[in-house]
Chain A
């Protein structure tokens, strides 16, 4: 029986942040301090280190999870304190540099699949707390070859160029125009949570596009939706409580976490404090997002008519005829930002393949959507999604049958 009892020891992250700028070296020098370790565990959770550094079913932090990047395969390192294959022999400086500068032991450049462009913002104290916590995990001897990229990306020196173009080093600085709560949220979102890694648009070099900050991004065949305060495509229509509930339980009255977000909820947000999640909500709601998006072009009536028929026969038994869904079970499609995203990849994907919601202690149901790829043709799926994206006051670009075909082909036999 996994009793999910999370003792609240030590300082909450909010309190830690208030000491930004007066970093205490004394704390950093107490790697066996209980407070330090507990705080480090919270930093690890908020930073979702396990999301990459623990294989599903594998030993904690022993690495081995392969990330498919547009440039090739990178494998997360073993960050247990093992002396040979882990980071046991790293100095505190090595450790801090890996987060702050993207350089590991001996100054070796790290590929930015490890989100050091975000972790550079982590305070020194938090980095040392994390270090203290990672010293407590079981050392595992497991040699991981991180770099499995093809030439020329396999040449680490190429990262010097990438860093020069894309990487700005520097610890998080609170924005004087934001409330303390929003600043705390900003720290969690931009420094630890590295939300932009998935939720921001990318440049051709794979760096975060500043103009597309948190307005949605395509990663590993999923569209991570707009999480700005944009009223139509973002989460502007969610209350702070809705956001907290989503992050803490994986479901709320609008949506159910699936795909890669399911892992984030499982490993990270469901284990964070509600105070921290509330700060994230405050910060996200305050981001205006992209207000310039052109109004979507209208869909043909014939497409909408076909879409309505397909929707009624296949979707309405769960999502309900008026798109309201069932709170905590079936996502609400009407006025849902992620349904109206410019990019419909995730929507096409769940219709083709189905998808399971996350199971958390607070919301264990884990409802699943069945696959329709075997049953519905490309044009039917495109029409149903176009209908959903343009009904009940929703407005979003048309989904073309060719979009569905392309993703279907990419997913191969997976559906």
Chain B
């Protein structure tokens, strides 16, 4: 039996970065907001204190902060003609759950996308011609411009206290910053983090080889900072337990360190944890959501009516909830019609490792986002005409941690276990550094999400099915980036340089990033996108779907800053436009 609860103004599904931002903005507007989160409440001192948080086995290997496949998993296949099987261990990407979501265990890398990333299709076809793009590539413009999003990037960066060096202030290129970035209205809230030895050497080699290095923007803070909400963060101590870990000393931006202290003081906000939304309910017209049905930890099912439903789950679950709820037409890869599940994209990273004899790098002195990077080969920052591919990525040396279980840098040919392997580890641990490329992944007609016809979750609902593989364009792009990176690294004078280009087929058992995107994409046209430029469903105007699910394709950057900016952007549209006149903000 489903118990009906008193109605709320707003129900938010998922209390992560986007959910907390929307909750904060809409409670400020005076609305009565409830957030329903499938995972537990999480707080710094009780859930990841410095007294035990640096536990690699517990958090990095066993993944205590991640979604567990037993609670929910996804099925996977490479091609539409294959049978998909459930992923039984999350390795390739690490979905978040619990209060704070994946934003608890992120690295704090806080990039803006390039202006041309937002009008990608228009830009590439006008520069290179329509026939330059592969026939099955399904990239689209976002329906929003960089200039529109700039104030909201600013908001998210100032919420986090992001440490960085501006490269373009109001159109004026700044020495030492990223000269390729879009113009920003003001500098980062805090100066860049101090750089260790390895990134410093990389930057020197990058300059010598004609590139323009800059410190990676980091939301692990270079100094204490109080954000506009009045919440204070501390200074990062370079403990090296960042990615996959919660931050014990309040120096990594997360909802715990930036928003929750203010949100929990509000009497018009409520969070219900360990409660999973099963479905968004619709009225008889099918054009309006009436609320959500959810199940709590005791197994009781509730209907929470609400005027506004904001979907802020992990991006795969955003798409899944839309499909399970029948909001928007499911994507059909044969006809290319339909929108929900369309344009699932990911990321193509690659690495270069350099073995030195005469240097000590102390790689354990690390933060999730320290490093020196170049952006010369990202997006369309270079001429793709002679290349035969589109896309790109940033690259450089980031010192994100060298923990004992997962960091065993040994030269090729070393045995994979035993005394020789141990001796090689001891010899190379301190004198080896790794570099990486962070490449884009453009979308393709046969990369998409739909409901699995076979496998179901504990509630009897079909699992989400992922159909995805790398395509030649993107592998070519990644190979090019890897070669460029290796040529810079070679200038550093290492004894041995080893390239690890990304190779197909895609393998869910190899970690890359958690930057999975798409499925509920934003756009200008209701025939080709699931949500409009304000992330409002074309099909049910009181449903907004926030997250990387809105990316029509992925750029060569980490997505969190763009996700945060879109959350502020959508919240602003709701506050200033929707509430005055509830209904579609863009006519389809």
Is B28 in contact with chain A by the CB < 8 A criterion? Answer: yes
Within the complex, the shortest CB–CB distance from B112 to chain A, in Å, comes to 27
Contact A368 B224 (CB under 8 A): no
Contact B234 A318 (CB under 8 A): yes
CA distance A359 to B262 in the complex (A): 9
Q: Which residues of B contact A370 (CB under 8 A)?
A: 45-46, 49-51, 248
Is A411 in contact with chain B by the CB < 8 A criterion? Answer: no
Q: Which residues of B contact A293 (CB under 8 A)?
A: none
Q: Which residues of B contact A368 (CB under 8 A)?
A: 43-46
Within the complex, the shortest CB–CB distance from B4 to chain A, in Å, comes to 25
CA distance A365 to B253 in the complex (A): 13
Q: How would residues 353 to 390 of chain A score, 1 for a CB under 8 Å from any chain B CB and 0 otherwise?
A: 01010010111111111111001000000000000000
Smallest CB-CB separation from B264: which chain A residue?
A: A359
Contact A362 B230 (CB under 8 A): yes
CA distance A369 to B51 in the complex (A): 10
Smallest CB-CB separation from B235: which chain A residue?
A: A326
CA distance A1 to B231 in the complex (A): 17
Q: Which residues of B contact A361 (CB under 8 A)?
A: 230, 265
CA distance A367 to B249 in the complex (A): 9
Is B239 in contact with chain A by the CB < 8 A criterion? Answer: yes
User: Restricting to B228-273, which residues have a CB under 8 Å from any CB of A?
Assistant: 229-235, 237, 239, 248-250, 261-262, 264-268
Within the complex, the shortest CB–CB distance from A351 to chain B, in Å, comes to 11
One of A112-120, A126-134, A230-238, A327-335 at the interface: A327-335
Contact B229 A364 (CB under 8 A): yes
Smallest CB-CB separation from A356: which chain B residue?
A: B45
Smallest CB-CB separation from B266: which chain A residue?
A: A1
Is A2 in contact with chain B by the CB < 8 A criterion? Answer: yes
* Among A317, A364, A372, contact of B239 (Cβ-Cβ < 8 Å): A317
Is A141 in contact with chain B by the CB < 8 A criterion? Answer: no
CA distance A365 to B52 in the complex (A): 22
Contact B265 A359 (CB under 8 A): yes
Contact A364 B261 (CB under 8 A): yes
* Among A1, A328, A364, A366, contact of B224 (Cβ-Cβ < 8 Å): A328
Is A158 in contact with chain B by the CB < 8 A criterion? Answer: no
Q: Which residues of A contact B51 (CB under 8 A)?
A: 314, 370-372, 375
CA distance A317 to B239 in the complex (A): 8
Q: Which residues of A contact B226 (CB under 8 A)?
A: 328
Is B553 in contact with chain A by the CB < 8 A criterion? Answer: no
CA distance A371 to B49 in the complex (A): 9
User: Restricting to B43-83, which residues have a CB under 8 Å from any CB of A?
Assistant: 43-46, 49-52
CA distance A16 to B334 in the complex (A): 82
CA distance A301 to B261 in the complex (A): 42
Contact A364 B267 (CB under 8 A): no
Smallest CB-CB separation from A315: which chain B residue?
A: B50
Contact A2 B265 (CB under 8 A): yes
| Given contact pairs A363-B230, A364-B261, A317 touches B50 in the complex (Cβ within 8 A) | yes
* Among A326, A356, A362, contact of B234 (Cβ-Cβ < 8 Å): A326
Within the complex, the shortest CB–CB distance from A248 to chain B, in Å, comes to 13
Q: Which residues of B contact A2 (CB under 8 A)?
A: 265-267
Is B413 in contact with chain A by the CB < 8 A criterion? Answer: no
Known: A316-B237, A317-B50, A365-B230. 10 other contacts (CB 8 A): A1-B30, A318-B249, A329-B232, A329-B234, A359-B264, A365-B231, A365-B232, A367-B232, A368-B44, A370-B50
**Residues of B bordering A, CB below 8 Å:** 27-28, 30, 43-46, 49-52, 224, 226, 229-235, 237, 239, 248-250, 261-262, 264-268
25 cross-chain CB contacts under 8 A: A1-B267, A1-B268, A2-B265, A314-B50, A317-B50, A317-B237, A317-B248, A318-B50, A326-B234, A326-B235, A327-B224, A329-B233, A329-B234, A330-B249, A354-B45, A359-B265, A361-B265, A364-B262, A366-B261, A367-B250, A369-B45, A370-B248, A371-B49, A371-B51, A375-B51
